[in-house]
Amino acid sequence: MLELEKIVLNAVQPWSHAQRFCVAFSGGMDSTVLLYTLTQLAQQHALPALRAIYIHHGLQEAAQSWPEHCQQVCDALQVPLSIVRVSVAPVASVEQAAREARYAAFAQHLQADEVLMMAQHQDDQAETLLFRLMRGTGVAGLRGIPVARPLAQGHVLRPLLTISQQQLLQYAKQHQLVWIEDPTNVTDSFDRNYLRRQVIPALKSRWPTMQHSLQRTAEHMHEAQQLLDDLAYEDLQRVQGDSGLDWLILPCLNLEKLRELTLVRQKNLLRYWLAPFTLLPDAAHWAGWESLRDAQTDAQPLWRLHSGALVRSQNQIYWLAEFWLQPPPDLNLTVNCAGCYPLPDNGVLLISGDVSVPLQVRYRQGGERFFIVDRGHRDLKRLLQEQAIPQFIRARLPLLFVAEQPVALANVPALNHPDIKHLRVTWQVPAAVEHQLAHEI
């Protein structure tokens, strides 16, 4: 068995329990070697079934023949191939947009307990580290390309990361493999191409082992990030927040306890806590956190981030997905009997008990006054403050009216009018659409 095949076998054997292996196949030299190597190993070892997936961006005329080439290669190797066509947004960084479209397609088509095999190699790792260094990345970015990570229902695995491109080329020539040469790889207009064609060869001519050195740097950074994550986890246990409302399940932190940490530890904790919800802010954007933290008690500060925001309410810091930052659609619902009532883009309203008169369901408009026993009529705004209902949730709380008089507020039975004390009005908060970003390489 050749050395390259031994390295790949050692990398994939821990995943041999997976349902299936799926090669991200572009038709280029790297993924062609990976696909061919796996087919050879499968003849000698008990490995999961193998398939391939080709993502067709269609960004250049030369690419129109690539799906056919990939199909021919897979047919020859007797590997099933899925061809997925994607649209790439016309933005400033077409390279980045294509990468995002590609990973979104992988996530969508990856099956349960399937391992997506990707062909990034040692040269790609060096290129990525240098690219991120030029962008001023932190410890997390300098970990480089991860060997493995979760993706949708399965995982991503990169078994070639310790193998150089030169080793792959030698293997490809030895086995007379045929691959596609992407014409965009010979232009320096893309940053990564410039690094690959101009910068890295110059560095290697001076420091021949630079790729190994950068790989060690990535490993050191991985250890350093693990320590930072461990510290953040410990801090999170101390500052975990509580809305005080058992029906409001949103990520939150206790601001008072958070302030006890140094600014450096606050930022480390926030990076760790926010990572599942949003792209993390760059260095210049962190001033928004200090403004949010230090705002006056009666202020309603908001720190906008990608796909959501941090807000402050009653000494708690909440992460709100974009959904919560938008007003709900207009609502004019009449309830004549108990039951479950879906609210457009706003969860579900549950009514239990005897409905003796028609109830109109609407949202707060301002100026509503509730009748409270022994207190008379009171402004809803003041009552919401007394009940410690966060400001950001108030516009979505369903209100029940009888003849234009508010008689109940969902989830706050203390405000039920005496005539409907027997009714139970429950609003099931819509599940925030949070997702694990596939913005990593």
Query: Which tens digit of pLDDT belongs to each residue from 24-33?
Result: 999 999 999 9
Per-residue pLDDT of the chain (441 residues; tens, 9 = 90+): 689 999 999 999 999 999 999 999 999 999 999 999 999 999 999 999 999 999 998 767 778 889 999 999 999 999 999 999 988 776 656 777 888 888 999 999 999 999 999 999 999 999 999 999 998 889 999 999 999 999 999 999 999 999 999 999 999 999 999 999 888 777 887 888 899 999 999 999 999 999 999 999 999 999 999 999 999 999 999 999 998 888 988 999 999 999 999 999 999 999 999 999 998 888 888 999 999 999 988 788 899 999 899 999 989 999 999 889 999 999 989 999 999 999 999 999 999 998 989 999 999 998 999 998 888 999 999 999 999 899 999 999 999 999 889 999 999 999 999 988 889 999 998 764 333 333 334
Instruction: Output the pLDDT for position 299.
Output: 82
Same domain flag for 38 and 154: yes
Instruction: Output the pLDDT for position 91.
Output: 61
**CA separation for the pair 358, 406 (Å, rounded):** 13
**CA separation for the pair 380, 154 (Å, rounded):** 48
Please check whether residue 186 lies inside any domain of the structure: yes
**CA separation for the pair 43, 162 (Å, rounded):** 23
**CA separation for the pair 371, 42 (Å, rounded):** 75
CA atoms within 13 A on the CB side of 435: 14
Please check whether residue 179 lies inside any domain of the structure: yes
pTM more than 0.85: no
Same domain flag for 157 and 10: yes
Can you name the residues that pair with 320 across neighbouring β-strands? 309
In the chain, the number of structural domains is 3
The tokens of 231 are what? 């510290």
Q: Among 224, 249, 277, identify where a domain stops.
A: 224
Instruction: Output the pLDDT for position 207.
Output: 94
Same domain flag for 147 and 281: no
Same domain flag for 115 and 153: yes
Same domain flag for 321 and 338: no
**CA separation for the pair 71, 213 (Å, rounded):** 38
Please check whether residue 145 lies inside any domain of the structure: yes
Domain encompassing residue 294: 240-325
Instruction: Output the pLDDT for position 432.
Output: 41
Identify residue 215 by its one-letter amino acid code: Q
Same domain flag for 281 and 402: no
Same domain flag for 32 and 175: yes
174 CB-near residues (< 8 Å, 6+ apart): none
Instruction: Output the pLDDT for position 13.
Output: 95
- The order of strands in the sheet holding 114-117 is 81-85, 49-56, 20-24, 114-117, 154-157, 148-151
The tokens of 270 are what? 């926030």
131-148 pLDDT, tens digit per residue, is 999 988 899 999 999 999
Among 69, 15, 67, residue whose Cα is nearest residue 38: 15
**CA separation for the pair 79, 34 (Å, rounded):** 13
What is the total residue count of the chain?
441
Q: Where are the alpha helices (DSSP H) in 122-161?
A: 122-134
Instruction: Tell me whether strands 20-24 and 49-56 are parallel, antiparallel or unpaired.
Output: parallel
Residues 415/409, Cβ–Cβ less than 8 Å = yes
Instruction: Output the pLDDT for position 46.
Output: 93
Please check whether residue 231 lies inside any domain of the structure: no
Same domain flag for 210 and 107: yes
Alpha carbon separation from 358 to 329, 371, 400, 402 (Å, rounded): 22, 18, 10, 7
Instruction: Output the pLDDT for position 431.
Output: 65
Residue in the block written with tokens 């997905």: 321
Among 244, 260, 262, 242, residue whose Cα is nearest residue 252: 242
Query: What phi, psi does 262 have (nearest 5°)?
Result: -65, 160
Q: Among 308, 325, 342, identify where a domain stops.
A: 325
**CA separation for the pair 39, 56 (Å, rounded):** 23
Alpha carbon separation from 266 to 1, 177, 229, 254, 306 (Å, rounded): 51, 52, 12, 12, 19
